[in-house]
A and B are shown apart, each in its own frame.
Chain A
Amino acid sequence: MTAITKELNQTKRQKGFFRRLCGQWQLMVMSVPMLLYVFLFNYAPMWGWLTAFQDYQPKKGLAGSPWVGLENFKFLFGREDFLLAIRNTLAMSVINLVFGTVSSILLAILLNEVRSKAFKRTVQTVTYLPHFLSMVIVVGMAQNIFSSNGAVNSLLMSLGLVKEPVFFLGKGEYFWWLVGVINVWKEVGWNTIIYIAAMTSIDPSLYEAASIDGAGRFQRILHVTLPGIKSTFMVLLIMNIGHLMEAGFEIQYLLRSGLTMKYSDTIDVFALIYSFGSSKPHYAYGTAAGMFKSIVGIILLFGANMAAKALDEETLI
């Protein structure tokens, strides 16, 4: 009896699925390009991962290059540079994540409280304009602003906060924070958009109810706005944790110098320099470093998702 019901249910469910699939064929057709895109650019290149286990030489190709087992990974973990690159990547990621999230939520809340629409729009536009600038230009500007006789040092000196110009660009210890600051400046407006969108979807009656109950402005932010964007925040957090191994490439590559290289090189910079930085290409080192990065990224993503599930929070998957 139960077996029959189960079977019946299953066929019903299958039928339901296919009927729905056929019913939404337009949607299916529309998703084909995206699927193709993902397959072509995200899955197909994974063949290349095989080279991480080879002494890969393009002349001989994937089939002809000798297999070396885990030699390339052993090499990477034997280099101090690689361990430093992991540290730098994680450090800059965490700084970017914290700075980025806090600043964009703060700005979103501030904008949300502004009554004048014109002012709000102007601020929004101005703050997200830098997002469209090339990193080359942004770093060039930062190099000017933070140089010994740049704007920041002039300001600090005239305020009497420092006696000598601070060597922002040449001190390894400052590098991570500098990257954090530049990233905030460049991306804060852009990241704010999604939080503002989340805030506009909060039911206004909640605010009214809160004011009737005697909540002041800060209490309304604390008890209505923040809980209202919590689910957005959680989803973004989980996604960002999945990207923790990607602290960026351009900004570090452009901003690095001999003095800061111990703090500046992320895994991506490391991969480029070790693969192509000499007269002999070492494709396998770069591939191995990239592969390591991806695998850690996947583990982090699922880890964060599971943690969120365990805490009964919004999850991604």
Chain B
Amino acid sequence: MKKFLAALLAMVMVLSMIPAVFAEETITLTVFRGDPGDQPTEDNKIYKLIEEKLGIKFEFEFLAGDLAETLNLKMADDVYPDLFDGGNYAETLENGEVLIDLLPYISEEKTPNLYKHIYTNDRIKQLMTEDGKLYIIPNYGINYNAQIQNECNGPAFFIQKQVIAWNNYEVPTTLNEYFDLIERFIAANPTTANGTPYTGFAILCEGWRHFCLINPVQHLMGRPNDGEVYICVTDQNYEVTGNDPSVAFKTETFIDKPYAKAYYAKLNEEYHKGLINKDTFVMNYDQYIAALSNGTVIGMFDQTWDFGTATDSLRANEQYANTYLALPLVYDPEYVNGAVIEEHYLNGAVMNKDRGFGISVTCECPERVVQLFETLLSDEWQTILQWGIEGEDYYVENGRYLMTKEQYDNRADAQWKRANRALAIWESAPKKQGTMDNGNAWDPGQQPEIYFGQMNDYDKDFLTAAGKKTPAEFFNAPIELAPYGEAWQIDKAPIDIDYNQGFLPIQDRWLPIIITCDPAELDANWDAFVAEITPSAQIYTDFMQTEVLKLVEQATK
């Protein structure tokens, strides 16, 4: 077996050396994607085009099973694909020295598109590692021209649209208003049309998706997503958080602070009113998605992308009234010493740092791969990758890129996508987002004519009645991104055990207890929780403070 493997490996190596000799011969790149996906069909039209024009073929391997485990095993075997996308665990690849430094291959002369892509606005400062290397070019979050945001795609409190409609399109803006509305709605409509009782508020606590349980407090305090820390960027909350105004970017964990207790005490109150079901703390992701897809869950805190399948199935069943509206809630002043908090859920463009393709150390032709990214980043290829082929997948009218209903619906059809889109490459490769120089949106879904043209009638009427043009208008405009980016992206590998086996599980264990306990025991439970989490929270805060200041320094240098 070993010999066979060795022979196979030798053959692969010999084969992959051929392109070095005949520079423009067709080569095959092996590609690993850190998430599950569909193999493209043999005659996929975009891959065919890439093969014809650029002489490159791909062989894909998609994630099956647990990502961290798969990456760790690949590293143990020392056999890597040429293009390596580590998904949500890409740090593992960087820490394991699996990827090559891309900087030597990128220059203004040889790769102008890539150069512009990562050097504009000093982006490179954020992207480089401490030792001045670049392993991964972000897969998302680098915008060209104006950024179009029709919907909130990140964290928010969600509520079924029918509840807002029932409330005469008056939208809650604070925590109290939100739960008050849910209470009133359920009092008036205890069950769905077919008699299933409604659940007021669901909390997903499973695995890494426990952000639904542990993240809301920072948003209620008026900050975008920094993971598990509250960072003072504006001065509006100094009084509440006790942060020191003399230290810019002072970082603290919020979960053990009194202003966090207010949120969980509120949940405790709602639990005893019957709005929260006990089973929410033991349900897994599939059960959660099933509950949402049934249309029986009125509200939850989550991120839009996390329950996309539920939204799709509600739409497929034409249960538009049960789809969700994202709301930017903040604390009522009573919870935070009378402070009036302004919401900042939407952030400036966040580069998805450390997420995307890297080139592995075993790749025989890194130069050619970088050149591939360079070519694919050209306007011509970006249009092909995102919009498709003119005349087949979209049409142009007066300089505007448009789609017929059929063309638009195709894009949601998994079978069609396998044959007509190069998603497995496009999703993890560097890409242009925002607006083209000619004013069209890079993403067809964001092109205003298409976004509104293809919207279902319920949503159209809903927005009109609410007096908004897009769902994103329920939010404040995105704020300027802090110089450190978003703190959840910081790699916690150095404090790994204290963080993953201490700080996080303590929250997983205590917060459900605090939400479900007898109100008389709430204070005692909270104090016990704070006492237990303080040591690991301290380690975590110290680490994050250092890292945040380092990033700020790097960005302003």
A residues sitting closer than 8 Å to B (CB atoms) are: 58-59, 79, 81, 143, 147-149, 165, 167, 169-170, 257-262, 273-274, 276-283
Q: Give the interface segment out of B48-56, B71-79, B241-249, B310-318.
A: B71-79
Interface size band for B: 35 or more
Question: Contact: B499 with A278, CB < 8 Å?
Answer: yes
If A59-B96, A259-B512, A261-B505 touch, whether A279 touches B279 (CB-CB below 8 Å) is: no
Question: Contact: B500 with A278, CB < 8 Å?
Answer: yes
Nearest B-chain residue to A278, judged by Cβ: B500
Residues of chain A within 8 A of B123, CB atoms compared: none
A59 and B278 alpha carbons, distance in the complex (Å): 45
A228 and B37 alpha carbons, distance in the complex (Å): 58
A147 and B513 alpha carbons, distance in the complex (Å): 17
Taking the closest CB of chain B, its distance from the CB of A67, in whole angstroms, is 19
Residues of chain B within 8 A of A257, CB atoms compared: 205-206, 281-282, 508, 512
| Interface of A, helix, strand, loop or mixed by DSSP | loop
Taking the closest CB of chain B, its distance from the CB of A32, in whole angstroms, is 18
If A258-B205, A279-B68 touch, whether A58 touches B508 (CB-CB below 8 Å) is: no
Residues of chain B within 8 A of A58, CB atoms compared: 72, 75-76, 78, 96
Given A58-B76, A279-B95, A281-B72, list of 4 further CB < 8 A pairs? A59-B75, A274-B497, A278-B496, A282-B496
Tell yes or no: B501 within 8 A of A by CB.
yes
Q: Which of B68, B89, B210 has the most CB of A within 10 A?
A: B68
Question: Contact: B512 with A280, CB < 8 Å?
Answer: no
| Interface of B, helix, strand, loop or mixed by DSSP | helix
Q: Which of B282, B287, B508 has the most CB of A within 10 A?
A: B282
Nearest A-chain residue to B491, judged by Cβ: A279
Taking the closest CB of chain B, its distance from the CB of A258, in whole angstroms, is 3
Across the interface, A276 reaches (CB within 8 A) one of B66, B281, B513, namely B66
Nearest A-chain residue to B88, judged by Cβ: A279
- Selected A-B contacts with CB under 8 Å, 23 pairs: A58-B76, A58-B96, A59-B75, A59-B97, A79-B501, A147-B279, A165-B278, A170-B278, A257-B281, A258-B210, A258-B213, A258-B505, A258-B511, A259-B513, A276-B66, A276-B69, A276-B72, A277-B501, A278-B68, A279-B92, A279-B491, A280-B95, A282-B497
Nearest A-chain residue to B499, judged by Cβ: A278
Residues of chain B within 8 A of A261, CB atoms compared: 505, 508-509
Nearest A-chain residue to B75, judged by Cβ: A58
Question: Contact: B501 with A279, CB < 8 Å?
Answer: no
Taking the closest CB of chain B, its distance from the CB of A31, in whole angstroms, is 23
Nearest B-chain residue to A256, judged by Cβ: B282
Nearest A-chain residue to B94, judged by Cβ: A279
A169 and B206 alpha carbons, distance in the complex (Å): 14
B354-396, CB < 8 A from A: none
Question: Contact: A273 with B96, CB < 8 Å?
Answer: no
Across the interface, A148 reaches (CB within 8 A) one of B277, B491, B501, namely B277
Question: Contact: B505 with A278, CB < 8 Å?
Answer: no
Residues of chain B within 8 A of A258, CB atoms compared: 205, 210, 213, 281, 505, 507-509, 511-512
Taking the closest CB of chain B, its distance from the CB of A63, in whole angstroms, is 14
A262 and B97 alpha carbons, distance in the complex (Å): 36
Tell yes or no: B342 within 8 A of A by CB.
no
Question: Contact: B92 with A280, CB < 8 Å?
Answer: yes
Q: When A and B form their complex, which 9 residue pairs have the shortest distance between CB atoms, in order from nearest? A: A258-B508, A278-B500, A58-B76, A169-B282, A281-B72, A257-B282, A280-B493, A279-B91, A278-B496
Residues of chain A within 8 A of B283, CB atoms compared: 143
Taking the closest CB of chain B, its distance from the CB of A200, in whole angstroms, is 44
Nearest B-chain residue to A277, judged by Cβ: B500
Question: Contact: B279 with A276, CB < 8 Å?
Answer: no
Taking the closest CB of chain A, its distance from the CB of B503, in whole angstroms, is 11
Residues of chain A within 8 A of B501, CB atoms compared: 79, 81, 273-274, 277-278
Nearest A-chain residue to B90, judged by Cβ: A279
Tell yes or no: B45 within 8 A of A by CB.
no
Q: Which of A170, A258, A281, A282 has the most CB of B within 10 A?
A: A258
Tell yes or no: B417 within 8 A of A by CB.
no
A283 and B96 alpha carbons, distance in the complex (Å): 13
Taking the closest CB of chain B, its distance from the CB of A30, in whole angstroms, is 24
Q: Which of B78, B287, B492, B505 has the most CB of A within 10 A?
A: B505
Question: Contact: A281 with B92, CB < 8 Å?
Answer: yes
A148 and B505 alpha carbons, distance in the complex (Å): 24
Question: Contact: A280 with B205, CB < 8 Å?
Answer: no
Taking the closest CB of chain B, its distance from the CB of A16, in whole angstroms, is 40
Residues of chain B within 8 A of A147, CB atoms compared: 279, 282
**Chain B 52-86 against A: per-residue CB contact (8 Å), 1 yes, 0 no?**
00000000000000101100100110100000000
A9 and B194 alpha carbons, distance in the complex (Å): 88
Residues of chain B within 8 A of A59, CB atoms compared: 75, 78, 96-97
A277 and B68 alpha carbons, distance in the complex (Å): 7
Taking the closest CB of chain A, its distance from the CB of B248, in whole angstroms, is 28
Question: Contact: B499 with A170, CB < 8 Å?
Answer: no
B386-419, CB < 8 A from A: none
Question: Contact: B496 with A280, CB < 8 Å?
Answer: yes
A281 and B210 alpha carbons, distance in the complex (Å): 21
A281 and B70 alpha carbons, distance in the complex (Å): 11
